[in-house]
Every structure is written in structure tokens, then in C-alpha cells.
């Protein structure tokens, strides 16, 4: 039977990309009674993608979160990775930890698989996506291997409330069905290019309710090479302590990021940023309040972090700060943010 063009195209996209999608089982090493050594116990499962021909596999942090909560060392086995071979059988490999970033819900594993098994995903751009654009999700929901769901991009620049407990900015919203096991799998455009990593569903039942989210490929392309090279994400920042929103509100700072502490001899100190302090009578003297970076408004601590995501270490920025009743501009270079 001859398929309609759209149907034939979807079949082609699935067949071309399914070999780039892997099944991942979180593995935790536990002592076993009456035995020496340890045994590997699967604790959860999700999806992942083949990133390159060197065996790097990208998935969500929370997919292997149980293993990561035990603070494994780089190179330690934290997962089992099933890769689909051309003959249609699943081949099982140890997934060794390369790096992980909880803040972006991303992790990279390494498998020792032959090059003919590794079919890297084609990474596309998420910067020019449009609402209404066709998209496809491939994953392993509920343990069913390599399942395809189709939908459209329903929204852009969404805040994703990740299962790692953090908020990820710039997320892609889709109505393509995303269920448990889809996490870590690819969201593709109609050309078969990766535009996001599926990471969350918005539902109270734990199953797809027509609202799913993906980490945009622009974020993935920035973080993954850092995880491969350094084992962690390297972010630009100021290395100063910013007041939490509740503290800032209690100090009557309603708009901007209030600086609490500035380390001596830091870039921020040399630029002249002033921390919050106490006067001789014990009264609180407010420090500088960052209200904008390169004219990009900053309302609070989280917005300051989001703004810095667009910069690299060594970039020069101009901070607009409120100091008492004055508004000043201070130029400085961003440094590596120490976590």
C-alpha cells in the first residue's frame, strides 16, 4: 500500500533516527548478602541519544539520578545502555559516567561500542523554531522500545520545572505524547534534526496530558561539550553572593539582585561592587543592587543567573547597579562561576 507523503516521511524519519536512540537503565551498586563484591540492580529507565562516534551518550540527569545521588566518580558504571543493532536486536553496554549537570538536567555517559553500532544524532538549531511546527519524539515509554509520537511545538521559552528540583529556562513545549521512559530521548523537527531533549510532562497522573517539555538543542549543544571535556558545566558569572528573593524582600528590595557578599581580590571587588554590611549601630547598610546587565533587566537572583547563561567566561559586560539613590554603570569581565 502506498502511503501518503506525510505518512511516508514520518516512517522515514523514524527509521533513520531510531538507531540513534538508546534505552538507559539506572544502575546502582548494592552489597549482596552472602556474596563478595556487589551486584548491579536496575532502578529506573529512560532514553538517551548517541552524541558522537566515540561512544558518548546524552540523557537526562534525572534518568540516572538514583546512581548520581551516590556521588559516583568519573568513569564509574552508573547505567546500562541498550543500543539497537541493524539486525533489530538490543546490545547491552556499561554506561560509565563522563559528566553531569543537575541545573540543566543533562548527563553524558560513555559506552565501549563498535563504531558501526554508533549512529550519532543530527543536531539542529532550536533558535528559529515556530509555534505550530511539526515535531517528533522517539523514546522508550513504559519500557516499550523505540516508540514514536508526533505533535507540534505548542510554546517556546517555557520554564521547565525539572524532576531534579530546578527550573530550566527556555524550554520547548509540545503536545507530542511524552511519558515516563521518554525522558532523555530526542525531540526532532521535520528534517530529522535534534531540536530538544525530552525531559518532563505536566500532569498529576504521571502520564501524558498533552503538555510535554524539552530542553532546547541550543542549551544541549553548549552544555554537552563541557561535560565531555570537564566532567561538569562551566558557567560565566561574578562569584558574588546574591540575596535570596525572600531576604531581598525583607530588606525592601523589590526589583533587582541585591549583593550580599563580595570576596576580596575578586573581579567584582576590583570593579568596585559593594556588598551589604552592618553599621556601627548594627543597622543593615544595603549593598549594590544589580538592575540590568548590558541593558537586559534583572528583577531578582534567578533572572541574573538566566542573563549570564548567554555569556562566556571572559566576556565583558556592563552592570547597571542601584547604589542608594544613584544608578551607576560598572564594566567588568565575567569569570568562571564557582559552585
Domains in the chain, ordered, with CATH? 13-110 (2.40.10.10), 134-230 (2.40.10.10), 236-336 (2.30.42.10)
Task: Give me the pLDDT at residue 81, please.
Answer: 94
Active-site position among 20, 26, 47, 62:
62
* 39-53, 189-203, 316-330: segment of lowest average pLDDT: 39-53
Gap between the Cα atoms of 124 and 114, Å rounded: 25
User: Across residues 255-284, what is the average pLDDT?
Assistant: 90
Task: Give me the pLDDT at residue 201, please.
Answer: 67
User: Across residues 289-314, what is the average pLDDT?
Assistant: 90
Strand partners, 158: 171
More confident site: 233 or 167: 233
Task: Give me the pLDDT at residue 202, please.
Answer: 62
User: Across residues 225-234, what is the average pLDDT?
Assistant: 93
C-alpha cell at 74: 568519573
* 6-10, 37-41, 301-305: segment of lowest average pLDDT: 37-41
Task: Give me the pLDDT at residue 142, please.
Answer: 64
Task: Give me the pLDDT at residue 208, please.
Answer: 54
**Distances in whole angstroms, Cα of residue 99 to Cα of each of 35, 72, 73, 230, 299:** 31, 10, 9, 7, 32
Are 332 and 319 in contact, with CB atoms under 8 Å apart?
yes
Active site residue 175: no
pTM equals 0.80
Are 145 and 90 in contact, with CB atoms under 8 Å apart?
yes
Active site residue 56: no
C-alpha cell at 128: 528559529
Task: Give me the pLDDT at residue 329, please.
Answer: 94
Gap between the Cα atoms of 94 and 220, Å rounded: 23
Residue 234 clears pLDDT 80, i.e. is over it: yes
**Averaged pLDDT score across all residues of the chain:** 87
**Distances in whole angstroms, Cα of residue 315 to Cα of each of 235, 238, 242, 257, 273:** 12, 11, 20, 20, 18
Task: Give me the pLDDT at residue 31, please.
Answer: 42
Active site residue 105: yes
Sign of torsion over alpha carbons 213, 215, 217, 219: positive
Task: Give me the pLDDT at residue 322, please.
Answer: 95
User: Across residues 267-294, what is the average pLDDT?
Assistant: 91
C-alpha cell at 119: 549512529
DSSP 8-36: HHHHHHHHHHGGGEEEEEEEEEEE-TTSS
Active-site position among 26, 101, 105, 189:
105
Active-site position among 162, 183, 208, 305:
183
Q: Kindly indicate the confidence band of residue 37, based on its pLDDT and cuts at 50, 70 and 90.
A: very low
Q: pLDDT by residue (tens digit) across 93-151?
A: 999 999 999 989 999 999 999 999 999 999 999 989 999 999 999 988 766 678 899 99
Q: Which residues contact 252 (CB under 8 A, 6 or more apart)?
A: none
Q: pLDDT by residue (tens digit) across 184-210?
A: 999 999 999 999 999 866 655 555 566
Rounded to 5 degrees, what angle do the CA atoms 118, 215, 10 make? 60
Task: Give me the pLDDT at residue 42, please.
Answer: 44
Task: Give me the pLDDT at residue 140, please.
Answer: 82
Hey, which of 18-32, 132-146, 301-315, 317-331 has the most confident mean pLDDT? 317-331
Hey, which of 31-45, 151-165, 222-236 has the most confident mean pLDDT? 222-236
Amino acid at each position: 500500500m502506498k502511503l501518503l507523503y506525510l505518512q511516508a516521511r514520518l516512517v522515514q524519519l523514524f527509521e533513520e533516527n531510531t538507531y540513534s536512540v538508546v534505552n538507559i537503565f539506572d544502575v546502582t551498586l548494592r552489597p549482596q548478602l552472602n556474596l563478595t563484591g556487589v551486584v548491579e540492580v536496575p532502578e529506573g529507565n529512560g532514553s538517551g541519544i548517541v552524541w558522537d562516534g566515540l561512544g558518548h551518550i546524552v540523557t537526562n540527569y534525572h534518568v540516572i539520578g538514583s546512581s548520581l545521588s551516590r556521588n559516583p566518580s568519573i568513569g564509574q558504571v552508573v547505567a546500562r545502555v541498550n543500543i539497537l543493532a541493524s539486525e533489530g536486536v538490543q546490545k547491552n553496554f556499561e554506561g560509565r559516567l563522563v559528566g553531569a549537570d543537575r541545573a540543566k538536567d543533562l548527563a553524558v555517559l560513555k559506552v565501549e561500542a563498535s563504531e558501526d553500532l554508533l549512529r550519532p544524532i543530527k543536531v539542529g538549531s532550536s533558535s528559529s523554531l515556530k509555534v505550530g511546527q511539526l515535531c517528533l519524539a522517539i523514546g522508550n515509554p513504559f519500557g516499550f522500545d523505540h516508540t514514536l509520537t508526533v505533535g507540534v511545538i505548542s510554546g517556546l521559552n517555557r520554564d521547565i520545572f525539572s524532576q531534579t528540583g530546578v527550573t530550566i529556562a527556555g524550554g520547548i513545549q509540545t503536545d507530542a505524547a511524552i511519558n515516563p521512559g521518554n525522558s532523555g530521548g530526542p525531540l526532532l523537527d521535520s528534517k530529522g534534526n535534534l531540536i530538544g531533549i525530552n525531559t518532563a510532562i505536566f500532569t498529576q497522573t504521571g502520564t501524558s496530558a498533552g503538555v510535554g517539555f524539552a530542553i532546547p538543542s541550543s542549551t544541549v549543544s553548549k552544555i554537552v561539550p563541557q561535560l565531555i571535556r570537564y566532567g561538569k558545566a562551566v558557567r560565566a558569572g561574578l562569584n558574588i553572593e546574591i540575596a535570596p528573593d525572600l531576604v531581598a524582600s525583607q530588606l525592601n528590595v523589590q526589583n533587582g539582585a541585591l549583593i550580599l557578599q563580595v570576596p576580596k581580590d575578586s573581579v567584582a571587588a576590583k570593579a568596585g561592587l559593594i556588598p551589604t554590611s552592618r553599621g556601627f549601630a548594627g543597622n543593615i547598610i544595603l549593598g549594590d543592587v544589580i538592575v540590568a546587565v548590558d541593558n537586559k533587566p534583572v528583577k531578582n537572583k534567578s533572572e541574573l543567573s538566566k542573563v549570564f547563561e548567554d555569556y562566556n567566561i571572559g566576556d565583558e559586560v556592563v552592570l547597571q547597579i542601584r547604589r542608594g539613590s544613584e544608578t551607576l554603570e560598572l564594566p567588568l569581565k565575567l569569570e568562571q562561576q564557582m559552585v
